[in-house]
A and B are shown apart, each in its own frame.
Chain A
Amino acid sequence: MSERALRLMNVGKTFGRQRALADVSLAFLPGEVAAVLGPNGAGKSTLLSLLATLSQPSQGRITLGDEQLSRRSPLRASIGYVGHEPGVYGDLSARHNLRLFASLYGIANAERRIDEMLARVGLDGGRREAAARTFSRGMLQRLALARALLHEPEILLFDEPGSALDPAGAAWLASELRREREAGRLVMLVTHDLAAAASVATHVVVLRRGRVARDETCAGFSADEVRAIYEEATGGKT
């Protein structure tokens, strides 16, 4: 895995006259799980969307290593994204979905990689040929993770990934996040779930009104520590 750091330098984002992010400067290293926290409207999803190159910063720069991350940059292929919605085609089977994205990313030995990913997320049984539309929410989230990991991205972005998962699904997801961290990937996670963030995070960023209110790094946080950081930064707002 690459050793490139992800840096945001004075990044701002406005939508018309509304400011979503202002003067955000952060650095994330490979092997970190960074939890981005904040109340509703703090700019968390906007930040993730900028990092995913789905939108462009109005001010500032985002770089991966020495290269600028932008909408047209080939670095887009270094990013994996799992959002609220699974981002897969409901009419296609799990295998066909992965086959499509493998072909678009130009993955070598695609069938072997697809088999590996399906086995890893537990979709290697009879359901792998069924249309994704027939999947439960948890299965769709597993397929979304397989799609996001298929091209072995350097950066994995998660936007509220556990919001629709049951406790067993959330525990599975947390173990996958730790596994990716151990593999040296940078994992970023936007969440409202402070306990889930504490269970995996080594870097906590709290946003408030589009600005960085806290930026803390540690080998591991307890749930109480994350809650204390969050409450101090936001005044207890959720």
Chain B
Amino acid sequence: MARPSWVSQAARIAWKDLHIEGRSREVVYTMGFMAALVVLVFSFAFISGQEVTVGPDAIAGILWVAVLFSGTVALSRTFDRERENEAIRSLLLSPVPRSAIYAGKLAATAAIMLLVELLLLPLLAALFSAAIWPHALWLGLLLLLGTVGFASVGVIFSAALLRSRSRDALLGALLFPIVIPVLLAASRATATLLDPTVPDLDPAFFWTRFLAALDVVFVVVGLWSFEPVVMGE
């Protein structure tokens, strides 16, 4: 037996999750519903009549609050399929490095979150007249970095709570305080990019670099800590 590479094993685990999600679409629909609900609730609060009174700071906040809540839905389901029938045990028994399992789960979760976020942006543009197009690529990069930062921590907590009965309640309580720097950096950079009157994009550069650095730290810690967390020893 030729042992597959770390990357191909991680890719197979990610592909398995995406394949299952592609058939059931359970998580995508639930996340999409949650994200749309958050945006609509804010629109009821901020929009009165024909007048849109929402500034770029608030739109950025709405976007990342929607990402936070819908992402938590995704993370709460990340290991559901491994919990059923104790499939996690078969995965842990296989010769796959545990860090590759983490990377695969992270890639699949981030991909599902990004799909929902791509649907979220036009909704924000339509409801709040958000200027998403002038810096669309940069916004896309921010969503990618913010999602990876959020999911990298979330996958660890999701694995830690694999056998906990109150995992849904605990996940948010444990996760939210730790991802505050990710949300702060992502929302500050997003607010700068959504403001057409800002002549200087330096703050967006700064927060994007800060977010990328956070991602590196969180992903490295996740790769390193996944094995002890998932083995429970």
Contact = CB atoms under 8 A, between A and B. Distances in A.
A172 interface: no
Interface residues of A, number: 35
B16 A92 contact: yes
B86 A104 contact: no
A54 B20 contact: no
Given A83-B89, A104-B94, A89 B16 contact: yes
Contacts of B23: 91
A85 B4 CA distance: 27
A86 B93 contact: no
Interface string B2-31: 111000110011001001100110000000
Which of B23, B85, B94, B95 has the most C-beta atoms of chain A within 10 angstroms of its own C-beta? Answer: B85
B92 to A, nearest CB: 6
Determine the main DSSP class of A at the interface with B.
loop
Contacts of A81: 89-90, 93
Contacts of A167: none
B202 interface: no
Interface in A49-100: 52-56, 71, 74, 76-77, 79, 81, 83-92, 96, 100
A86 B82 CA distance: 11
Nearest to B92: A54
A101 B87 CA distance: 11
Nearest to B94: A104
Contacts of B16: 89, 92, 100
Contacts of A54: 89, 92-93, 231
Contacts of A132: 85
Given A90-B81, A104-B9, A85 B1 contact: no
Interface residues of B, number: 29
A77 B95 CA distance: 5
B124 to A, nearest CB: 32
Contacts of B223: none
B84 interface: yes
A65 B20 CA distance: 40
B51 interface: no
Given A71-B231, A85-B85, A91-B23, A103 B93 contact: no
Nearest to B96: A104
B200 interface: no
Interface in A139-185: 140, 147, 151
A107 B94 CA distance: 12
A121 to B, nearest CB: 16
B86 A85 contact: yes
Given A103-B12, A132-B85, 16 more contacts: A55-B233, A71-B227, A76-B93, A77-B94, A84-B86, A88-B90, A89-B16, A89-B20, A92-B16, A92-B20, A101-B90, A104-B13, A104-B94, A104-B96, A106-B1, A106-B3
Interface of A: 52-56, 71, 74, 76-77, 79, 81, 83-92, 96, 100-101, 103-108, 132-133, 140, 147, 151
Closest 5 CB pairs of A and B: A85-B86, A87-B90, A77-B95, A91-B20, A104-B94
